[in-house]
């Protein structure tokens, strides 16, 4: 896959610098052309950017994700204490579109399978095109890979070629997907924690959320 990324990136070098990008991700390009990263939109109170390596692109999304998770845990604890639990509902389905990240297609599907095997209240289902609420893109960005959105199954994930040649790409995909499911970064935690991201360094290849992280996602999507 690294060879494929380098081939695509080389063929795109002359064009990528001239591409004018709007605040939204670029449209699909024909042939072996690798788009540059989407220009970062101005963060809102609801949405922001979370990076794979320490130094989140927008600390506000980190704070928002932490707050939402804390509130979900408090509500779950209150329901458990009072016996007023919500009725069990069918899992929420998040449709994802990976058509604009062809180099990472199989890894994105593996990441979805990993999450689907470990959580019960939300499921990731591929649906390319307009029906996919969560988008995946690939290209070049000095900031590395990141998620942009509100952590509610929306937004997009950008996969950076250079970073995926240094860090384990499946772990990157699964980590950024964790943000889409509502989890914050925890860079100082060990490799066994998926949301520690690039904190443990390139030698960490674990692509699996642990039981606590999976439980947190289920709490968020009750």
What pLDDT sits at residue 190? 98
What pLDDT sits at residue 37? 61
Mean per-residue pLDDT over the chain, rounded? 83
At 26-84, the pLDDT tens digits run 433 333 344 566 655 544 546 788 889 986 567 888 899 999 999 999 999 988 888 87
* pLDDT bracket for residue 178 (50, 70, 90): very high
What pLDDT sits at residue 9? 40
What is the 3-state composition of the chain as percent helix, strand, coil, each rounded to the nearest 5? 40, 15, 45
Domains (range + CATH), the chain: 2-15+46-59+86-220 (3.40.390.10)
* Backbone angles phi and psi of 138, in degrees to 5: -135, 160
Task: Report pTM.
Answer: 0.80
- From the list 54, 71, 138, 176, the catalytic residue is 176
- Helix, strand or coil, per DSSP, at residue 166: helix
Average pLDDT on 173-186 reads: 97
Greatest alpha-carbon span in the chain: 63
Residue 66 known to be catalytic: no
202/195 Cα distance (integer angstroms): 14
Q: How far is CA 187 from CA 55, 63, 71, in A?
A: 9, 14, 21
At 129-169, the pLDDT tens digits run 888 999 999 999 988 999 999 999 999 999 999 999 999 99
Is the pLDDT at 85 greater than 90? The verdict is no
């Amino acid at each position: 896959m690294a060879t494929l990324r380098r081939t695509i990136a080389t063929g795109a070098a002359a064009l990528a610098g001239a591409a004018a990008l709007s605040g939204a991700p670029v449209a699909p390009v024909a042939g072996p052309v690798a788009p540059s990263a989407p220009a970062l939109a101005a963060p809102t109170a609801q949405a922001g950017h979370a990076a794979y390596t320490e130094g989140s692109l927008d600390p506000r999304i980190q704070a928002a994700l932490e707050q939402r998770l804390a509130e979900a845990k408090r509500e779950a604890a209150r329901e458990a204490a009072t016996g007023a639990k919500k009725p069990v509902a069918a899992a929420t389905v998040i449709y994802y579109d990976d058509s604009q990240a062809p180099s990472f297609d199989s890894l994105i599907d593996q990441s979805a399978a990993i999450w689907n095997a470990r959580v019960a209240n939300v499921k990731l289902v591929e649906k390319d095109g307009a029906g996919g609420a969560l988008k995946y893109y690939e290209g070049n960005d000095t900031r590395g890979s990141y998620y942009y959105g509100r952590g509610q199954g929306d937004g997009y994930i950008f996969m950076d070629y250079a970073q995926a040649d240094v860090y384990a790409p499946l772990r990157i995909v699964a980590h950024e997907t964790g943000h889409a499911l509502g989890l914050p970064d925890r860079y100082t935690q060990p490799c066994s924690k998926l949301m520690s991201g690039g904190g443990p360094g390139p030698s960490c290849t674990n692509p699996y959320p642990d039981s606590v992280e999976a439980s947190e996602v289920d709490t968020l999507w009750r």
